[in-house]
Amino acid sequence: MKFPSEPFKIKVVEPIKRTTREERDRLLREAGYNLFHVPADSVYVDLLTDSGTSAMSDHQWAGLMLGDESYAGSKNYYHLEAVVRSIFGYRHVIPTHQGRMAENLLFSTVVKPGMSVPNNIHFDTTRANVEHQGAEALDLVIKEAYDPHCELPFKGNMDVLRLEETINRVGRERIPLAMVTITNNSGGGQPVSMENIRRTRALLNRYGIPLIFDACRFAENCFFIKERESGYEDTSVREIARELFSYGDGCTMSAKKDGLVNIGGFLGLNDERWTQDITNMLILVEGFPTYGGLAGRDLEAMARGLEEVLDEEYLRFRISQVRYLGELLDNGRVPILKPIGGHAVYLNAKEFLPQIPQDQFPAQALAVALYREFGIRGVEIGTVMFGKRDPVTGGTNYPELELVRLAIPRRVYTNMQITYVAESIADLFTHRDTIGGLVMTYEAPLLRHFTARFEEWAPVVTR
């Protein structure tokens, strides 16, 4: 079946309410046209993020009741440790309250000012955490990743040639580690192939540089390998994951994605010295090493979620639901990023709204219009998120892509709600000439997209 139906049934429901266009218009003005400041209960379908928004299973909820809240040595920690070792294979498991704390602990321990950290594409918190150490975050994904029309099966791949040039240019001693993000979130949720990971590993081995995975969506990446990479069609996703992680020295993980939990993360590491230093820092800023900023019950839900996410019936539905939305839009000629990624569909705002110049934030304007007209919330991934101020000229360096990401929460929305989203966007597309640009009136020095405020460039035309 092309689009398999839901491999679960619903036991608990959470009502969502409809708002009027007038209410949403007022909420937008109050929020400074920043969708992070719109109250969630005024959103009909919330595709802001797939992070921490998953529906837990009955098995995970049951696990919450088995939380062992001992300060030290909670049995739930040992369960998590065993699960992580069995899938990821790393000796040391350091729990954190979410992914960025794993990044912060790792980088504050091993990254020094003036160093460089290559990645296929750094996620925004990863980049910010590298730069916070006074180091440089380098994106070395294959060039095709920036072409929204190029259909490659593994568009998240590292450009191994550029990685080697970079190592030679920067110097091995200034590269404390390299990262590979699976799937490549900022590049459209595109997977990385096993073959590319093997080549990256072989290159890094020649220079003695450790490889750390940003593993947030590892199960989705491994499912794509099974679907698309020859030689893996009969391998289980669990075995694919084990092989993939065997090429790394560790991982940072936000379990809010493929951990199927609402909060949680961890750092997996083999290196004793790094583990010791990071553990000392963990005690200072998060908590004792067997809970790391989480309750015992959270550790249990995470351990169970990591097992469930490898269920291939679940993964087939998950990847297909995202593809279903993408194909409905594509069939309606709505410009989207191709191929369709693992956790989200990305609207190509430059093509959706060619009338809005990049300095008027076309992707933000599109996200605002989608909420105002239909109560659907996506997120801008464009100039607001990545447009960097040039420290010398004060001008903006514009990113190549202006996207609105529609991230699909795991096990949350039915295909009927996904159909509503597709039909709404197709409708908006036919009225696209009524959408105007925005002016930024406030920006913070770091991660500005979370708090930026805007005004409309020209008043919107009422339909």
Q: Which amino acid is at 213?
A: F
Which part of the chain contacts ligand PLP (CB under 6 A), choosing from 74-82, 201-209, 237-245, 250-258?
250-258
- Range list of β-strands (E), 29-100: 45-46, 92-96
Q: Could you tell me how many helices (H) and strands (E) the chain has, helices first?
A: 16, 16
Dump strand ranges (E) for 31-106.
45-46, 92-96
In the complex, the smallest distance separating the C-beta of residue 214 from ligand PLP, rounded to whole angstroms, is 5
- DSSP bridge pairs for 405: 346, 379
Residues 6+ away with beta carbon under 8 Å from 371:
24, 28, 35, 38, 43, 377
- Does 364 participate in binding ligand PLP (rule CB under 6 A)? no
Is position 96 an interface residue for ligand PLP (rule: CB under 6 A)? no
- Kindly state whether residue 120 participates in binding ligand PLP, applying the rule CB under 6 A: no
Q: Considering the complex, state which of residue 68 and residue 214 has its C-beta at the smaller distance from ligand PLP.
A: 214
Residues touching ligand PLP, count (CB under 6 A)? 15
Residue 53 tokens read as: 């928004």
**Residue 99 has which token pair?**
């992914």
176 touching ligand PLP, by CB under 6 A: no
Are 80 and 255 spatial neighbours (Cβ–Cβ below 8 Å)? no
Contact track, ligand PLP, 122-151, x by CB under 6 A: -x-xx-------------------------
What is the CA angle 159-164-165, rounded to 5?
Answer: 100
Can residue 275 be called a binding residue for ligand PLP (CB under 6 A)?
no
DSSP string, 189-226: SB---HHHHHHHHHHHHHHT--EEEE-TTHHHHHHHHH
Q: Which is nearer to ligand PLP, 256 or 377 (CB)?
A: 256
* Among residues 67, 189, 265, 382, the one that binds ligand PLP under rule CB under 6 A: 265
Contact pick of 24, 100, 318, 372 for ligand PLP (by CB under 6 A): 100
Options 6-14, 27-35, 92-100, 417-425: segment touching ligand PLP (CB under 6 A):
92-100
- Span interacting with ligand PLP, options 70-78, 119-127, 358-366, 377-385, rule CB under 6 A: 119-127
CB of 257 to ligand PLP, least distance (A): 6
Verify cis geometry, omega within 30 degrees of 0, for the bond prior to 339. yes
Under the binding rule (CB under 6 A), the answer on residue 262 touching ligand PLP is no
DSSP secondary structure letters along 314-370: HHHHHHHHHHHHHHHHHHTT--B-SS--SSEEEEEHHHH-TTS-GGG-HHHHHHHHH
Task: Write out the two tokens for 407.
Answer: 């991230």
Residue nearest to ligand PLP (CB): 99
Sheet strand arrangement including 344-348? 344-348, 403-407, 379-381
Q: How far is the CB of 51 from ligand PLP (least distance, A)?
A: 5
Q: Judged by CB under 6 A, does residue 57 bind ligand PLP?
A: no
Among 54, 57, 157, 185, which residue interacts with ligand PLP (rule: CB under 6 A)? Answer: 185
Residue 216 binding ligand PLP, by CB under 6 A: yes
Q: Is there binding between residue 254 and ligand PLP (CB under 6 A)?
A: yes
**Stretch of residues binding ligand PLP (CB under 6 A), selected from 106-114, 137-145, 218-226, 253-261:** 253-261
User: Before 183, cis peptide (omega within 30)?
Assistant: yes
Binding stretches for ligand PLP (CB under 6 A)? 51, 98-100, 123, 125-126, 181, 185, 214, 216, 254, 256-257, 265
